[in-house]
């Protein structure tokens, strides 16, 4: 759904404002880029997911014994690491809402599905789509994409729509598809760590 939304918005903007784009497609460079992207982007996004939604979320959850704090912390830190992207300099700090909101989406999917598969797929798919569709001189991804944005970018409602409309609808669809339930417990409930607790108790008793 998010991919469909991104493609639809890009197509709508392209046909509404053709002066803002130039056709960037060159078959040779494009397909070379596509092969490299299909190999490297999943590696890059998987590293980020295992770090944030894997080790950090689980490790912090065990330490603080709840789910809400690691969800918030890892989402904010994940988004915050994008602060130095050229898009932020060009479009302003409002774009950080998108990055942090995407971190929350990935964290919520991981907690509700009790696994990282959906977050891994979403993150890789989102970055691949970005690399293939549109590039610009002010983006972190400089690729031989289909289109090149030559406009002077601004961030406004278009940043908020994915976070407050598309992402909630996406979560709703995922919840129906995968039968997610008990949202309160999975998102803000306690983290049980019997192995760690037993180990600490044994240390104290020894």
The answer to whether 190 touches 115, Cβ cutoff 8 Å, is no
Band (pLDDT 50/70/90 cuts) for residue 203 is very low
Q: Is the pLDDT of residue 77 over 90?
A: yes
Amino acid 3: pLDDT: 74
DSSP classification of residue 85: S
- At residue 189, what are phi and psi to the nearest 5 degrees? -75, 180
| 1: confidence class by pLDDT, cuts 50, 70, 90 | low
Q: Are strands 147-149 and 21-23 parallel, antiparallel or unpaired?
A: antiparallel
- Residue 200 clears pLDDT 70, i.e. is over it: no
Average pLDDT (119-148) is 90
61: Cβ contacts below 8 Å, ≥ 6 apart: 67, 69, 70, 191
Residue 2 has pLDDT above 70, yes or no: no
The pair of three-digit structure tokens given for residue 157, joined into one six-digit string:
């409602």
Question: Which pLDDT does position 8 carry in this prediction?
Answer: 82
Q: What is the mean pLDDT of residues 12-17?
A: 86
Neighbours of 173 (CB within 10 A): 11
Higher pLDDT pick, 166 / 2:
166
Instruction: Give the bridge partners for 190, in sequence order.
Output: 66
Quick one: 156 exposed, middle or buried, by C-beta within 10 A (0-12, 13-18, 19+)?
exposed
- Name, in order, each residue with C-beta under 8 angstroms of 53's C-beta and a sequence gap of 6 or more: 74, 106, 107, 110, 116, 119
CA pair distance 173, 198, nearest whole angstrom: 39
% of the chain surpassing 90 pLDDT:
65
92 — alpha (psi -120 to 50), left (phi > 0) or beta? left
Residue 86: both structure tokens together: 């050229």
What does the pLDDT average to over 120-126?
Answer: 93
- Give the tens place of pLDDT for each residue, 47-68: 999 999 999 999 999 999 999 9
Q: How far apart are CA 206 and CA 200, in angstroms?
A: 10
> Per-residue pLDDT for 6 more than 70?
yes
Report yes or no: 98 and 164 within 8 Å, Cβ to Cβ.
no
Give the pLDDT score at 100. 96
So where are the chain's domains? Answer: 2-205
pLDDT digit string (tens) for 137-195? Answer: 888 878 999 999 998 887 777 788 889 998 999 999 999 999 999 999 999 999 876 54
Average pLDDT over residues 106-122: 95
Tokens of 79: 């988004």
CA-based max dimension of the chain: 74
- Mean pLDDT (the chain, rounded): 88
Separation between Cα atoms, residue 118 and residue 135, nearest integer Å: 26
């Amino acid at each position: 759904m998010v991919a469909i939304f991104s493609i639809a918005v890009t197509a709508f903007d392209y046909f509404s404002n053709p002066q803002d784009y130039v056709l960037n497609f060159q078959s040779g460079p494009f397909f070379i880029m596509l092969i490299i992207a299909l190999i490297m982007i999943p590696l890059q996004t998987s590293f980020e997911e295992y770090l944030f939604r894997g080790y950090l979320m689980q490790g912090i959850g065990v330490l603080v014994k709840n789910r809400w704090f690691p969800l918030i912390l890892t989402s904010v830190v994940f988004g915050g690491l994008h602060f130095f992207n050229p898009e932020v300099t060009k479009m302003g700090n409002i774009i950080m809402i998108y990055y942090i909101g995407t971190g929350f989406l990935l964290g919520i999917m991981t907690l509700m599905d009790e696994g990282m598969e959906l977050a891994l797929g979403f993150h890789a798919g989102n970055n691949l789509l970005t690399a293939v569709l549109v590039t610009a001189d002010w983006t972190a991804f400089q690729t031989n994409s289909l289109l090149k944005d030559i406009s002077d970018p601004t961030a406004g409602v278009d940043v908020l729509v994915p976070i407050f409309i598309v992402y909630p609808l996406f979560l709703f669809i995922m919840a129906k598809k995968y039968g997610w339930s008990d949202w309160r417990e999975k998102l803000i409930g306690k983290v049980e760590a019997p192995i760690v607790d037993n180990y600490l108790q044994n240390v104290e008793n020894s």
